[in-house]
Amino acid sequence: MFDSSMIMAILPELMLLILALLVLVMELVWKNENGRKLGWLTAGGLLLVLVVSAFLGKPAEASDVFGGMIRYDSLGFIFKMLFVFGAMLTSLFMMDSEKLGQRGESYILLLVATIGMSFMATAGDLIMLYLAIETTSIPMYILAGFMRDDKKSTEAGLKYLLFGAMTSAIMLYGFSLIFGFTGSTSLTAITSFSLPLAVGVILLIAVGVGFKISLAPFHFWAPDVYEGAPTPISGFLSTASKAAGFAVIMRLFIGLFPSGEYAQMWTLTLAILASLSMTIGNVVALRQSNIKRMLAYSSIAHAGYALVGAVSLSELGVGSVTFYLIAYVMTNLAAFGIVAAFSRVTGSDEISDYAGMSRRNPGLALAMLVAFLSLTGMPPFGGFVAKVFVFAAAVEAGMIWLAIVGVLNSIVGVYYYLTVLKVVYLHRMEGENEAEHPIPLTRPYAIALTVLSVAILLVGVIFGPWFNAASSAALNLF
Amino acid sequence: MTFPILSVIIFTPLVAALIILMMPAERKTEIRMAALLSAIFALALSFWVYLSYDQAAAGYQFVEKYNWLPQFGISLHLGVDGISTPLVLLTGVVMFTGVIISWGIDDRPREFFAFLFILASGVFGVFVALDLFMLFFFYEIAVFPMYLLIAIWGWVKTREYAAMKLTLYLFIGSVIALIGALAMYFNSGMGTFDMLMLETANFSARFQQIWFLPVFMGFAVLGGIFPFHNWSPDGHVAAPTAVSMFHAGVLMKLGAFAALRVGIMLLPLGAKFWSPLILALATVNVVYGAFIAMTQTDLKYMIGFSSVSHMGLVMLGFATLTRDGMTGASVQMFSHGAMTALFFAATGMVYDRAHTRQIPELGGMAKALPYVAVTFIIGGLVSMGMPGFSGFVAEFPIFMGVWQVKPWIAILSALSIVITAAYIMLAIRRTFFGEMPAEFEGHIGPISVMDKVALTLLSAMMITLGVFPGVMVPMVQTGIDNVLRILGGA
Amino acid sequence: MDFIYSHLLSVILFFPVLAAMILLFLPKDEVKLIRWTALITSLVPFVLTLVLWSRFDANGGAAFQFEENYVWYAAINSNFHIGVDGISLSMVLLTTLLTPLAILASFGITDKVKAYMMLFLFLEMGMLGVFMAMDLLIFFVFWEIGLVPMYFLINQWGSKNRDYASLKFMIYTMGGSLGLLLAIQLLGVLFGTYEISTIVAGWNDITGGTLMGMEAATVKTVAFWAFVVAFAIKVPVWPFHTWLPDAHTEAPTAGSMILAGVLLKLGAYGFIRLVLPLYPAESAHFAGWLAFLAVMAIVFGAFGAYGQDDFKRLVAYSSVNHMGFVLLGIAAAAKAYGTTNAHIAMNGAILQMFNHGLSAAGMFFLVGVIYERTHTRDLRRFGGLFPLIPVYGGIMIFTSMASLGLPGLNGFVSEFLVVRGAWSQLSGFTAAGMIGLLFTGAYILKGIKNVLHGPLNEEWAHGEHKLTDINTREIVVMVPLMALMLSLGIAPAWLLGVINNAVTALF
């Protein structure tokens, strides 16, 4: 029946569930206070989850638990830790976000979504996978449209819901095809495919996961949703949610089609989609004047970069994707966090309004520098190492053209990331009286951004331990 | 456990940058003092490395190796040989004089010095890195601070454009080279990024021929090779003085140096195959750069194009793949670095007072700024390759090397000497002698003692090297002999 | 003391730099102190040269004496190798003699005296280095070093047109040395060393075959002309002389003294020390061309001088004229290598170098004397000044006669030797040269006439422009020159002997 390894396998999820219930209860208790205490509770609780799981929840070796529903291995473990980390920081960002942070429901929804993501990363069965995806998505739909008085937010939530529902239906159809033809829903047990089945499955699943990670041409929802949703939620969406999607891609595709001509099919398909994403993401980002939209297109591009590692279909490939996601989660969360901090005080998301920010709050500007340079792929930040490894995987797999596409796109990225930094550091406000318009940071923001900046630097400089962890995850798939 | 001097040299500026960032922004004097002290410390260490390098033993010294990511063979492997030791010294000197020259920066000096020091760390790192991954790591670190330094503190008219152009060019160059490096990593089958081990990798001739050009040219972009030199003059002009000093004085040397270390030393067969092309392009640099410099009316643009020309000589020397040529090229890296740092420092001093760099609008500066005039003249003489100064000691062997491969290129490139003499002497005469325009009367204040220290240090180095080539050339030669060994074996 | 004796040449060569460093630390307002310090320190190399002379073995033949050889630029195998033989010793003497005189002549400079004196001393080092060099790269180094101080001397302390003149001087000379530089590089690459004796021996051994992928003979010819052009610009040989009138005229008085007195000799010395030994065949082959150019210089120089209204420009063209004789002698020596005629011609050429140094320095100084008083050099504005300035007049006539080649004075001896040596192999050219000599007399006498004789120009006789005669300091400048002109005219053996000893062994 139940044994300790089964508990350990879902320890983080259990703790998250308990935490969610706790938050629910405390909301009722602290009815009249603002949501800040709940935010601290969530953040603190998530920290506890992280620490405890890191010590106790580590899998010794890969195994299937719960009858094959959950796969208990390093890959899942690392992703879970990443999600919890992301959620923790998001909750810090949410705390002082008007309307969002004051209601306990938002934290609960966040926690539930995190649970869903954890299961996405560890699903060993198609049905489990689908359940996990929906568990993640539905809270996110709500969170995206949380600010019901804001037209953009409502639009964002609705758009996300519609897109998401449609694409997951398509994906479910793909799952059903698999079940229909093979008679099983277990990821590890499915082996034989016929060509038409493989093609159909690949395409259908690609739609679903492509939506999740905002891969072109399924990316159209992303700019509007990121722009409209409350900024901390956009941050969470663009990072943890995307990472979960990647976990699914790797488990599904590498699990179902590890080699042979089907492998060639899906790698080529995804490679093309990755190139498309990188190009569209970078090129359209050039024209954006709203920073959230720009970051949205940027994350479309980054989905492309990360995918380059996945299609390399090698240990290095998977390891590099995992590492990339670690670095990317930290970086993008930081970026959105800064945007949230800024708009909280100024109410604006226009890039031009960031003029003179370096004089209004030098520390915030510095954090932005760290985050954006990491996005660009400059050392000594995590983004650099991540990009190098991902492109190295492509070169090793012989897909030099893909590496070149990635490199060229990085160059385009340099332009718009640096332009934002230029506005922050060089341009002045109207009237040049920045000293009278400071941008104060509340405690949660300060903590979160400091932690993230240090982390980005750490991942970029002392990348050994992180990469080793990522590589060990890769081993699970081969 | 020997003192890890190289790591300390690399990380001193970084640590200093972090400390400076944590200081309150209003405490400008303390910030400047902190910057100066760190620069002095780094300078002392670089001098120490230079003086303690054992020429008899040769090879890589002060070696440190720390595993970074063993499964990929990435290690923090540091060491200096005869070629990089003078460059480490040069960086220390330029960093020190750059801090002095920037003493007057009043707009957010904290961020300025922090970014400048990050840049310095990156430069130090490239010169001492013996691991390919780490070389790239430090190389890129040296690129992005340039963007910020130029865009924020540069010359208002062109800074945004020049900064973006520079960053894009350099970034493109370096990623192209990075792809080549990755190809080397995977093709060698050794699973290491360690350059000393990759030297023994024995890549196939075809591989080397294919990959040499992207790797060499990718780095040479930073060296200002034609036709990818376009970023350099605009970058020079738009940058604030200390950044120009770094840019032309050290950064461009990074490009040529990395092209040598990664391109020539790791892909020697490719180097031999492509050397005629590089010779041709470098010759264009030398001659074309000199001609364009002659037409400039802005003093800084003139110096910028002169840098393009002189870096052409460096790459010309390397492309000859001869002992003389490469020795001369390495010495030229040092000599030109010091010279151009001096030029920019002097120009900056003139510009700060006259608020114009247009040669036709200047005049008679020697009366008000005699020290600047004399040191500028010394720089000019170095630039012309006048014997008695380091420029001659550097350029002469380069030409000897060129004679050994393509005599007519030597004859063609020698033209640049006369052209350089012409435009330099004209610029000196028009800027420093003659009548001072009335609007400057009484507005040209004297330079500070620290400014004089900076100018003197740079001039003294160039004169010393010019009169006693023995203080540097034998050291450089030990490094070049190693390169020749690699080339000979291939 | 022993150190000085064993390193006599280095001390002579570098003492001016030491002197300049001493000057550097003197306060720039103490003009008198600076002048006298410069003068006294510049006398030290002169005294040491006399010591050198006394210890020189006049029967040493072609051997170089007082050699010093130190490693300098080991990487390219160039050593700091200096030494003197009879030819170079005479030039060293000329240089160390003229420099103190020029400094004494510069006591009238009041603007930026310290910089002026320092530049002069650096210039002296440059010139001495060329004469003493036994390593080709060292030769070139000092050759170039001499350029820069002269550029600044003309540019900062010259007359109206100095910007143009100084830049032209510099670019012209550098352009010329470009060919020299390239040829030196070629030689260095070929022989792996810059030792002149090694290169001369090795280069002469190359008679056929290919060099650098081209026929050896072609390469040699091209290199020959590269050397020749560089030196020809310096001498200056017609038609490369056009920088000279401007540079000489615009330079300050002492600058012109040194420029004409010594710097031009650098070019001729280059011919003698390098061109002829390195390319005996080509020199003999092209000797006719060289003689032709020499005669052009003699004749056109004379015509040019005759046509001048500017006194200084007249003297400048006279330099072209006189150096023509030097080149004629060299050409003759080249053509008749090894014969007595060659020796005679060469002796004449070298002696002419020395003599012209004296007379040109003297003439320029005299121009300067009168310019300081009248602030004009226009010959038409002078006239009949003899009664006003009799001492000056006497000195001027004396010096002009030496310049003209009056027997009894030094000019005659050297010109005679050149003509005697050149006659047999270059008769036509020599004859043409003699005609030029006729015009030499013409312009010299014109100069004298316009300044000293004829109706007195009232402008200078009265009032504030009343001329004062030559003063003691100025006489002191001229006396040594005049004494030497006389002694060399009457008994030239003391100098000729030393020169001849080296010449007979070398050519």
Distance separating alpha carbons of residues B24 and B28, to the nearest angstrom? 8
Q: What is the mean pLDDT of residues C84-109?
A: 92
Label each residue of C340-372 as H, E or C: HHHHHHHHHHHHHHHHHHHHHHHHHHHHHHHHH
The three-point CA angle C505-C506-C507 to 5° equals 105
The number of C-beta contacts closer than 8 angstroms across A and B is 94
Measured CA to CA, the distance from residue C423 to residue C416 in angstroms comes to 10
CA dihedral A416, A420, A421, A425 (to 10 degrees): 140
Confidence category of residue A369, pLDDT binned at 50, 70, 90? very high
Chain A interface disruption, residue of B10, B110, B137, most A CBs within 10 A:
B137
Q: Phi and psi of B76, rounded to 5°?
A: -85, 85
Q: Which residue among B414, B429, B474 sits closest to C75, beta carbon to beta carbon?
A: B474
Q: Which residues of A touch B140 (CB under 8 A)?
A: 378-379, 384
Residues with Cβ < 8 Å from B115, sequence gap 6 or more?
B17, B145, B148, B149
CB atoms within 10 A of CB C469: 14
**B148 contacts in A (CB within 8 Å)?**
369, 421, 425
Q: Would you kindly state where each structural domain of chain B is located, as residue ranges? A: 5-489
Under a CB-based contact definition with an 8 Å cutoff, are residues C353 and C369 in contact?
Answer: no
Of B140, B147, B175, the CB nearest to A407: B175
User: What pLDDT is attached to residue A10?
Assistant: 83
**Which B residues in the span 404-463 are in contact with C, Cβ-Cβ below 8 Å?**
404, 407, 410-411, 414-415, 417-418, 421-422, 425-426, 429, 433-434
C165-217 pLDDT, tens digit per residue, is 988 998 888 888 888 898 898 888 888 889 888 888 888 887 777 777 777 88
- From CA B76, how far away is CA A103, in angstroms rounded? 49
**Mean pLDDT in chain A?**
87
Short-list C340, C300, C338, C319, CA closest to C423: C340
Put simply, whether B83 touches C (Cβ < 8 Å) is no
Half-sphere exposure of B235 (CA within 13 A, CB side): 33
Phi and psi torsions of B445, nearest 5°? -80, 165
In the structure encoding, which two tokens stand for residue A220, read together?
């159209």
Interface-testing mutation among A409, A411, A416, A420, with chain B (most B C-beta atoms within 10 A): A411
Q: What DSSP state is assigned to residue A34? A: -
Name the pLDDT band for A471 (thresholds 50, 70, 90).
confident
- Burial of A51: CB neighbours in 10 Å, binned 0-12, 13-18, 19+: exposed
Q: For A319-359, write each residue's pLDDT tens digit.
A: 999 999 999 999 999 999 999 999 888 888 899 888 888 88
Q: Are C and B close enough to touch, i.e. 3+ CB pairs under 8 angstroms?
A: yes
- Contact list, A395 vs chain B (CB under 8 Å): 179, 182-183, 186
d(CA A139, CA A116): 9
- Report CA-CA distances (Å) from A92 to A97, A98, B65: 9, 13, 40
Residue C356 has pLDDT above 60, yes or no: yes
**C182 inside 8 A of chain B by CB:** yes
Q: What is the pLDDT of residue B458?
A: 94
Cβ-based neighbour number of residue A3 at 10 Å: 8
Residue type (1 letter), B89: L
Is-contact C216 C207, C-beta < 8 A?
yes
Closest CA to B106 of B26, B184, B177: B26
Cα–Cα distance measured from residue A336 to residue A334, given in angstroms and rounded to the nearest whole number: 6
Q: How far is C-alpha C192 from the chain's CA centre?
A: 32
pLDDT tens, position by position, B40-98: 999 999 999 999 888 888 888 888 888 888 888 888 899 999 999 999 999 999 999 99
**Do chains C and A touch, with touching meaning 3 or more CB–CB pairs less than 8 Å apart?**
no
First-to-last C-alpha distance (Å) of chain C: 37
Q: What is the ipTM of this complex?
A: 0.87
**Are the beta carbons of A110 and A139 closer than 8 angstroms?**
yes
Query: Given a cut of 60, is residue A1 above it in pLDDT?
Result: no
Report the C-alpha gap between A382 and A463 in whole angstroms: 8
Of the partner residues C76, C151, C182, the one whose CB lies closest to the CB of residue B414: C182
Q: Give strand pairing partners of C70.
A: C80
Residue B288 structure tokens: 């074309």
Query: Among positive and negative, which fits the CA dihedral A224, A230, A235, A236?
Result: negative
Which of the residues B320, B374, B402, B411 would you substitute to probe the C interface, choosing the one with the greatest number of C C-beta atoms within 10 Å? B411
Confidence at residue A292, expressed as pLDDT on a 0 to 100 scale: 93
Q: Model confidence at A149, in pLDDT bands (50, 70, 90)?
A: confident
Strands A70-72 and B61-69 come out as: unpaired
For residue B267, CA distances in Å to B187, B209, B262, B431, B454 come to 12, 8, 7, 46, 39
C-beta of residue C167 within 8 angstroms of C-beta of residue B426 = yes
Is the distance from CB of B61 to CB of B79 less than 8 angstroms? yes
CA of residue A392 relative to chain centroid, distance: 22
Q: Going by C-beta distance under 8 Å and a sequence separation of 6 or more, which residues neighbour residue B221?
A: B169, B170, B172, B173, B174, B228, B231, B255
Instruction: Determine, for residues A414 and B160 on separate chains, whether the beta-carbon distance falls below 8 Å.
Output: no
Do the Cβ atoms of B182 and A395 come within 8 Å?
A: yes
d(CA B88, CA B45): 10
Which residues, at least 6 apart from C174, have a Cβ–Cβ distance to it below 8 Å?
B384, B417, B418, B421, C144, C147
* A63 pLDDT higher than 80: no
pLDDT at A92 over 60: yes
Q: Give C139-175 pLDDT, tens digit per residue.
A: 999 999 988 899 999 988 988 888 899 889 988 888 8
CB contact under 8 A, A463 and B68: yes
Chain B residues within an 8 Å CB radius of A378: 140-141, 143-144
Q: Which B-chain residues 369-398 have CB contacts (< 8 A) with chain C?
A: 381, 384, 386-388, 392-393, 396-397
- Bridge partners, C133 (sequence order): C82
Contact at CB, C141 and B388, closer than 8 angstroms: yes
Tokens standing for residue A303: 């989905």
Element (H, E) at B77: strand B74-80
Strand bridging mode C65-73 / C78-84? antiparallel
Q: Could you tell me which chain B residue has the CA closest to the CA of C141?
A: B387
Residue A468 has, within 13 A of its CA and on its CB side, a CA count of 9
CB contacts, 8 Å: B387 with chain C? 140-142, 144-145
Whether residue A136 lies within 8 A of chain B, CB to CB, comes out as: no
Cβ-based contacts of A464 with chain B (< 8 Å)? 67-70
CB C502 within 8 A of CB C62: yes
* Test mutation, C184, C186, C189, C215, chain B, max B CBs within 10 A: C189
Q: Where are the alpha helices (DSSP H) in C307-339?
A: 311-335
CA distance B32 to chain A (A): 18
Residues of B within 8 A of C71 (CB-CB) are: 470
Closest CA to A96 of A415, A364, A445: A445
Residues of chain B with pLDDT under 70: 1, 489-490
Cα B347 to Cα C280: distance, rounded to the nearest angstrom: 51
**Residue A380 · residue B137 · CB < 8 Å:** yes
Burial of A113 (0-12, 13-18, 19+ CB in 10 A): buried
Residue A331 CB contacts under 8 Å (≥ 6 apart), including other chains: A371, A374, A375, A381, A382, A383, A452, A456
Q: What is the pLDDT of residue A34?
A: 65
Residue in B68, B137, B143 closest to A380 by CB: B137
Q: If you measure CA to CA, which chain B residue comes closest to C73?
A: B469
Interface of chain B toward chain A, CB-CB under 8 angstroms: 21, 25, 67-72, 108, 110-111, 133, 136-138, 140-141, 143-144, 147-148, 151-152, 159-160, 163-164, 167-168, 171-172, 175-176, 178-179, 182-183, 185-186
- For chain A, list the contacting chains (3+ Cβ pairs, <8 Å): B
C181–B400 C-beta distance less than 8 A: no
- Point out the residue among B68, B133, B167 whose CB comes nearest to the CB of A418: B167
CA–CA dist B137, B142 (Å, integer): 9
How many CB atoms are closer than 10 A to CB B269? 18
Give residue-wise pLDDT tens across range A458-470. Answer: 999 888 888 888 8
Answer yes or no: are the C-beta atoms of A466 and A455 closer than 8 Å.
no
A162-172: pLDDT as tens digits:
999 999 899 99
Q: Which residue does chain B place closest to A471, by CA atoms?
A: B71
For residue C174, list chain B residues with Cβ-Cβ distance below 8 A: 384, 417-418, 421
CA angle, residues A318, A324, A330, in degrees to nearest 5:
145
Tokens standing for C397?
């006539």
Task: Judge contact between C214 and C265, C-beta under 8 A.
Answer: no
User: Does the CB of C186 have a partner CB in chain B at under 8 Å?
Assistant: yes
Q: Are C403 and C393 in contact (CB under 8 A)?
A: no
Non-local (6+) Cβ contacts of B147 within 8 A are: A418, A421, A422, B163, B164, B166, B167
Output the pLDDT for position A191. 66
Phi, psi of C179, rounded to the nearest 5 degrees: -60, -40
Q: Do residue B69 and residue A407 have CB atoms under 8 angstroms apart?
A: no
Question: Across the interface, do B108 and A410 touch by the CB < 8 Å criterion?
Answer: no
Answer yes or no: do C181 and B417 touch at CB < 8 A: yes
Q: Which residues of B touch A403 (CB under 8 A)?
A: 179, 182
Is it true that the peptide bond before C27 is cis, omega within 30 degrees of 0?
A: no
